[in-house]
Each structure stands twice: as structure tokens, then as C-alpha cells.
Chains A and B, each alone.
Chain A
Amino acid sequence: MRALVLVMSLACVIHPREAASQSLTAEAAVTGGYSTDDLAAVAAQLRAFGETKGAWRFFGELSWAGRSRDDVESDAFGAAYPYGKRLDVIEAYGERLLRPGGAIVDVRGGRFRPPFGISSGSDHAYWGFLRPPAIRYAEFLVVSNTFLEHGVSVLAGVPKLTVEAAVGAPADVGDHGRRGGADALVRVQGYAGRFIAGISYMRTSPIETAAIAPGRATFTGIDARWMSGGVQLRGEWVDGQPFDGATSTGWYADVIVHRTHMGPVTAIARFERLDREGLNEAAGEYLSRETLGARVRVSEGLSLTVNVLHQSGDPRYRPNALDVAVTWSVRSR
């Protein structure tokens, strides 16, 4: 079914006259990792993207990932992809970007990550963090990195200020997907100098069944980035209800240091907290975590990532962990 969605999405945007692609890039990334949470993991992503002669852009991504154990409570290696030992279509969309008079108009249709906050898979998978922020992990019933939409999104504005609206239906991957129904999202993003900020609002179906999670899920988020001299500060704050009668509020702040004299090394740190009310008591009422790490670009296609972290609040999680991963990526044009 998901493969069918991929094919249909691409077929929708590639008109027969334009079937001859102006550009096509194929990319593969393979990751192997180990965590002191007693987990090993392996993952592979395949991507194809490019642009037709009619200036339609297309993007498709397949992912397979598995972990050595399913009986361990850990979000290691779940930064952007599910580890369900299944082949999943992650994104599959067509897109048209127009620049009338310097303005931006972009229409996207198909299957895509909901544009809530810092939402790009690359933003979470390749900066050097091996775990998702707690406010981005589906098991915590927040706005997960494994949420996907079947729908349409429209972005309009000027580079300094854009508004994006998306409507669709949940089509998540992983073990904690939202139930069906229509949902909607709006996001406003602006920048001034080196400071970029956005506000997002999402109304969607809850994760879990209606018997467990009645009503609707609504989330509001604020995200910001600032960067200068190779030092980036970024973060998100999210507040909302995962279903009627429950609340989730959390934030994370990342420091990413990649000064030119550091060569291939990117140093990272993350501070985060998630507070929950009205949810599963076994998970505790909060999770607090600090992560330090680095990503080293060993060669053009090979990178090594190391994270050490300390966490508290959720009794199911070990207080300390070390995660190591190697990613190899290759691209053909």
C-alpha cells in the first residue's frame, strides 16, 4: 500500500510530457550503531529526488531499520526513523516552488512530514544526535518525528516571512501511529539577521485508540534558530494535549558547534525536558535529559557519531547511556 502511495504521488506530479527528468539523484545511507542500553541497530534509507523538465520537484524515501532487541525501553537511534524491521515509505511527494517577484509560493502534495517546528528528517538525523528530542518521540505522545501526512501543504510569503498551511490525514510509520481522520496545521516563520523563528499549530487525531485517548490532539510550538561563527543555537517548545484530559509540555535546546578550525568535527549538546499529566503512570510525569556528543565526518561519505547522555524522571529509562553510530552515505547523479 505504501509503495503504491509512492508511485501514485510521483505519478501525480510527473505529467507524461514531462516524464523525462531534468535531474535525478539517488542516495543511500546505511547506519550501524550500538548503545549501552543493550541495543545494536542497523538502518538503511534510499532516496530519489530531482526535478522534471516542467520544474516539478519530486522526493521519495524508503527506510528499513531494526534493533537487536524489542524488549528494552530506549529511544536510541530513533532520531528520525522508526526501527520496526519493516520497509517503510517515509516521504513521497511532488512539489512546485515558484518565485514570483521575489516572493515564495510552494505547493506540495503527497506524503510528507508535517511542517511543525523543526521538522526536516535531515535536521534530526544528521546533525549528530542519535536520539529524538523527547517532544519528538511518538512513545511520549507528542509531535513525533515519525508522523507523516497524506495531504497538501501550501507555503507563501517572502523570504523574511512565510506562512504555511497543510491539510491531510495521518499516515504515520512506527509502532505509535495516530488513528485516522482529517487534520490541519499552520506555521508562520520569519527571520531577522541570523535569527530564525517559527510558530506552529496542529490539530490532529491522537495516538492510540479512542477508548484510550479520546477527543483530539492539539499542539502549539515555538521554534528558533540562531547561528554565528559556526555556533548554532536552536530549540523548540511545545505545549498541547495528546488527547482530551491529558497535557504535554516540553522543550529542548541544542548547541551545535562547527567552527572552521574544528575541521570535520561537529560538537553537539542538548538539554531537554518533557512534562506530562494524565498519561501512563509507568512513564513518570517528566523526562529530563542532557546529551553531549560529536559527529566526525571521517571522509566524504562516512561519519562517526558519539553521544553520551544522562536522564532522569522516567523510571523505565537507564540514567546514563553511551550511543555510537557509523553512517555511510553515497549519492549518484
Chain B
Amino acid sequence: MKANAPLIGALILAVSSAMQCIAAPARAALRARVQQQSEADLHGTARVRDRAVPDAVVWLDAPNAPAARAGGPRAVLDQRNLAFVPHVVIVRVGSTVDFPNNDRVFHNVFSYRDGKRFDLGTYPVGTERQVVFDQPGLSRIFCNIHPGMAAYVMTVDTPYFAHADENGAFTIREAPGGSYTYHAWRPGAAELSGTWASDWGPLSLVWK
């Protein structure tokens, strides 16, 4: 019996290792399932009465959210056909927004009211300027040469935000499950806010 002890020990070790190998994928799958449940894409729609609102932005308060990574995604506010494209941009605090000029005429982008204040000066076709939006709030963007040009940059202190598409639909990516205070804004209207839990289903935003 004593002579068989090393053999039995090796057998136990082998079985244990085999069980670990079998259990690892199962645990990973379980972890993924939990992750999927806790970090989900949250959907919703924005409307004015029955009409879809394409330029609405929505964000969730998340004071404990992970800090933004340096050099994160950049947003672009193009100057094209004598207009800012898109009309509304939402970015996280610390984000850089590029302002390329893709018109043959000069533009002079500036913001003087709320939010980030700057004046980029005049610059020709094919060139661009950048602005870092380092404080939360709404910045109203104009061109000093073309009075009809206007756009908005909403800077939010949360990674959980979205911009409504042409049908008023929006998706907030990878927001942890739970209850949130949400905010929504669109040009020319007051900000909406309220409470929303991720297991309540799609968030329906309606401006009266």
C-alpha cells in the first residue's frame, strides 16, 4: 500500500488538474454572463410629442465611473456647406473636438456664452483647429462670418451618454446595471431629468 502512495498522489493531482481545466471555461462563461447583465447597452427614444428628435443628447449621472483615459476618442464638428455637421455633439469632460474647415470660404469658429469659451480665428479650406472641452456644460458654437451657422457641444462628466439618431433612437453603451439619474437636452428646449433603472426597459424621453 505504501508502495502505491506516490501513484495515488499523482492520480489525485491529475484529476484535480483536469477538473480545473474543465472548470475554467465554465467560470469564464459565468463571469461573462454576469458582466453582460451588469454592463448592458441601454436603449431609448427621444420625441417631441409624436415626432422623433434627431439632435437630442442623453446622459446618466455616474459619479463613481472610471476616469477617462488620456487621449480618448475625439469628436469632430465639421464645417461643411456653410453649416456645422453634426448640429449637436456630446463629449466627455477632457475630450478634444476637431473643427476642420471643409468649405472653400473662411470660417471663424467661436463660443462666448456658456461652457467653453474660445475663438479659433479664421482659417482656410483643408485646415483644422482643436478645442479641449475641460468643463461640463453646454457650449454654443457660432461662426463670426456666417450668422446662420450654429452648433452645440454638450460636455458631460460621465462615460455613459448618447446622441439620438435621425429616428430619435439612442443607445448608451456598456452602462452598469442599476438606477440612474438621467438628463436629456435638445436645442431650443429645457433639459429633462429623472430617474431610470436599467431593468425598466427602454427610456422614453418626451418633450411636451
Write the residues of chain A forming the contact surface with B, with a CB cutoff of 8 angstroms: 23, 25, 27, 29, 49-51, 57, 59, 95, 97, 99, 102, 104, 106, 108, 120, 122-123, 126-127, 155, 158-159, 162, 189, 191, 194, 196, 225, 227-230, 232, 258-260, 262-264, 266, 297, 300-301, 303, 327, 329-331, 333
Contacts and interface: CB of A to CB of B under 8 A. Distances in A.
Given A104-B126, A155-B104, A263-B113, A232 B121 contact: yes
A303 B147 contact: yes
Contacts of B112: 260, 262-264
B127 interface: yes
B139 to A, nearest CB: 12
Nearest to A112: B104
A230 B117 CA distance: 11
A184 B119 CA distance: 36
Interface stretch (B30-38, B79-87, B163-171): B79-87
B147 A191 contact: no
B126 A50 contact: no
B73 interface: no
A123 B126 contact: no
B128 to A, nearest CB: 9
A104 B125 contact: yes
Interface residues of B, number: 31
Given A23-B81, A196-B122, A260-B118, 20 more contacts: A51-B80, A99-B102, A99-B126, A104-B125, A122-B146, A123-B105, A126-B145, A127-B144, A159-B125, A159-B127, A191-B124, A196-B124, A227-B121, A258-B119, A259-B119, A260-B110, A297-B142, A297-B147, A300-B142, A329-B147
A324 to B, nearest CB: 17
Contact of B105 (A120, A225, A331): A120
**Candidate in B82, B118, B147, B150 with the most chain A CB atoms within 10 angstroms:** B147
A14 B131 CA distance: 36
Contacts of A264: 112
Contact of B147 (A23, A189, A301): A301
Given A97-B102, A104-B126, A126 B81 contact: no
Contacts of A50: 81
B51 to A, nearest CB: 15
B144 A25 contact: no
A57 B105 CA distance: 13
Interface string B100-138: 001011101011110001110111111100000000000
A264 B114 CA distance: 12
A6 B125 CA distance: 25
A50 to B, nearest CB: 6
A189 B145 contact: no
A300 B121 CA distance: 19
A46 to B, nearest CB: 12
